[in-house]
Chain A
Amino acid sequence: MPMKVKTIGYFFTQALKSILRNFWMSLASVATVAVSLIILGAFILLTANTNYIAQAVEQDVEIAVFLYVDTPENKVKALGDKLEDISGVDSVELIPKEEGLRQLSKQFGEEHDLVSALGGENPLPDYYIVKAEEPQQVSTIVKEIEKLPHVEKVNYGQGVVEKLFSITRWIRIGGIVVVAVLAACTVFLIAVTIRLTVYARRKEVNIMKSVGATNWFIRWPFLLEGIFLGFFGALIASTVLYFSYIIFLDKITAAMSFLPIQRDLSILKNVALVVLPSGPLIGFLGSFLSLQRYLKI
Chain B
Amino acid sequence: MIKLLNVTKVYPNGVRALQDITLTIEKGEFVFLVGPSGAGKSTLIKLLFREESPTYGHVLIAGKNIARLRKSQIPILRRNIGVVFQDFRLLEDRTAFENVSFAMEVLEHSKKEIQQRVHHVLNLVGLKDRIHCYPHQLSGGEQQRVAIARAIVNRPHILVADEPTGNLDPETSKEILKLLIDINRSGTTVIMATHEWSLVNRANNRVIALDKGKLVSDGEKVLFAHEG
Contacts and interface: CB of A to CB of B under 8 A. Distances in A.
Interface in A179-223: 203-204, 206-215, 217-218
A208 to B, nearest CB: 5
Contacts of B91: 203-204, 207
A170 interface: no
A6 B110 CA distance: 9
A10 interface: yes
B78 A215 contact: no
Contact of A209 (B78, B80, B105, B107): B78
Interface in B64-96: 71-72, 75-80, 82-83, 89, 91
B79 A211 contact: yes
A136 interface: no
Interface residues of A, number: 20
A255 interface: no
Contacts of B76: 212
B107 A213 contact: yes
Contacts of A213: 75, 106-107
Contacts of B77: 212
A1 interface: yes
B102 interface: yes
Most buried by B among A208, A211, A214, A217: A211
B78 A211 contact: yes
A226 B78 CA distance: 28
A24 to B, nearest CB: 21
B108 interface: yes
A31 to B, nearest CB: 29
A10 B107 CA distance: 12
Nearest to A2: B108
A206 B76 CA distance: 15
B78 A210 contact: yes
A77 interface: no
A87 interface: no
Nearest to A209: B78
Counting chain B residues whose Cβ lies within 8 A of the other chain, the interface size class is: 20 to 34
A206 B150 contact: no
Contacts of A203: 89, 91
A137 interface: no
Contacts of A218: 106
B75 A212 contact: yes
Contacts of A3: 108
Nearest to B78: A212
Contact residues of A: prevailing secondary structure: helix
Contacts of B154: 211-212
A210 B75 contact: no
Contacts of A211: 78-79, 82, 103, 106-107, 150, 154
Nearest to B151: A211
A7 interface: yes
Contacts of A10: 105
Nearest to B147: A207
Contacts of A1: 108
A6 B107 CA distance: 12
A4 interface: yes
A3 B102 CA distance: 17
B48 to A, nearest CB: 12
B156 to A, nearest CB: 9
Contacts of A214: 72, 75
A210 B49 contact: yes
B106 to A, nearest CB: 4
A211 B91 CA distance: 14
A210 B152 CA distance: 12
8 contacts: A7-B108, A206-B89, A207-B89, A207-B102, A210-B83, A211-B78, A215-B71, A217-B108
- Which 7 residue pairs are nearest across A and B when measured between Cβ atoms? A212-B79, A212-B78, A213-B106, A212-B75, A211-B103, A208-B106, A214-B75
Interface of A: 1, 3-4, 6-7, 10, 203-204, 206-215, 217-218
Given A4-B108, A209-B75, A215-B71, 7 more contacts: A1-B108, A3-B108, A6-B108, A10-B105, A211-B79, A212-B77, A217-B106
